[in-house]
Chain A
Amino acid sequence: MVSDKEPTILVFACNWCSYAGADLAGVSRLEMPPHCRVVRVMCSARVRPEFVIAALSRGLDGVVILGCHPGDCHYSEGNHYTRRRALLLKELLEHVGIEPERFQLRWISASEGAKFAQTITEITGEIEALDRRREPPPEG
Chain B
Amino acid sequence: MPRRRIGVFVCHCGNNIGGVVRVPEVVEYARRLPNVVYAEGSLYACSEEGLSSIREKITAYGLNRVVVASCTPRTHETLFRNACEEAGLNRYLFEFVNIREHCSWIHMRAPDQATEKAKSLIKMGVAKSYHLEPQEELESEVYPEALVIGAGVTGMTAALNLAHQGLKVHLVEREKELGGLLSEVNKLFPTHRDAKEILDPLVEGVKNHSLVTIYLGSEVEGVEGFIGNFKVRITKVEEEIKVGTIIVATGARELKPIGQYGYPAMANVLTQLELEERLKEGVDEWQSVVMINCVGARGADRSYCGRFCCHTAMKNAILIKEGNPAAKIYILHQDVMASGVEAERYYRGAMELGVRFIRYDPTNPPQILGERQAEEIKVYHALIGREVILPAQLVVLTTPLVPQADNERLSKMLKVPLGSEGFFLEAHLKLRPVEFATDGVYLCGSARHPSDIRESVSQAYAASAKAAIPMREGVVRVEAITAFSQERLCNGCGNCLLVCPFGAVELKDCERGAQVAWVSVAQCKGCGCCVAACPNGAMQQRGFSDQQLMIMIEALAEGVSSGLR
Contact = CB atoms under 8 A, between A and B. Distances in A.
A47 B531 CA distance: 9
A72 B560 contact: no
Given A4-B561, A34-B110, A37-B117, A51 B105 contact: no
Interface string B67-78: 000001110000
B550 A41 contact: no
Interface string A71-88: 110111110010001000
Contacts of A74: 415, 438, 527
B98 A38 contact: yes
Interface residues of A, number: 62
Contact of B106 (A49, A59, A98, A117): A117
A26 to B, nearest CB: 3
| Residue among B73, B109, B553 facing the most chain A CB atoms (10 A cut-off) | B553
Interface string A1-40: 1101000101000011101101101110111101001111
Contacts of A41: 528, 544, 549
Interface stretch (B83-91, B230-238, B392-400, B418-426): B418-426
Interface string B544-562: 1010011011101101111
A47 B552 CA distance: 13
A39 B552 contact: yes
A34 B114 contact: yes
A123 interface: no
A111 B532 contact: no
B309 to A, nearest CB: 23
Interface residues of B, number: 61
Contact of B105 (A19, A29, A60, A109): A29
B412 A51 contact: no
A46 B544 contact: yes
A49 to B, nearest CB: 8
B167 interface: no
Interface in B178-234: none
A105 interface: no
B526 interface: yes
Contact of A26 (B102, B532, B546, B562): B102
B553 A2 contact: no
Contacts of A40: 73, 98
A34 B560 contact: no
B124 A30 contact: no
Interface string B429-463: 00000000110000000000000000000000000
B499 interface: yes
Contacts of A27: 101, 105
Contact of B557 (A34, A55, A140): A55
Contacts of A61: 560, 562, 565
Contact of A30 (B106, B553, B556): B106
A17 B556 contact: no
A17 B418 CA distance: 11
Contacts of A45: 499, 527-529, 532
Nearest to A131: B562
Closest 6 CB pairs of A and B: A26-B101, A46-B528, A45-B529, A75-B527, A48-B532, A43-B527
21 contacts: A2-B559, A2-B560, A8-B556, A15-B74, A16-B438, A19-B74, A34-B116, A37-B121, A39-B124, A39-B549, A42-B544, A43-B527, A45-B527, A46-B529, A47-B532, A58-B553, A59-B562, A75-B501, A75-B525, A85-B532, A102-B565
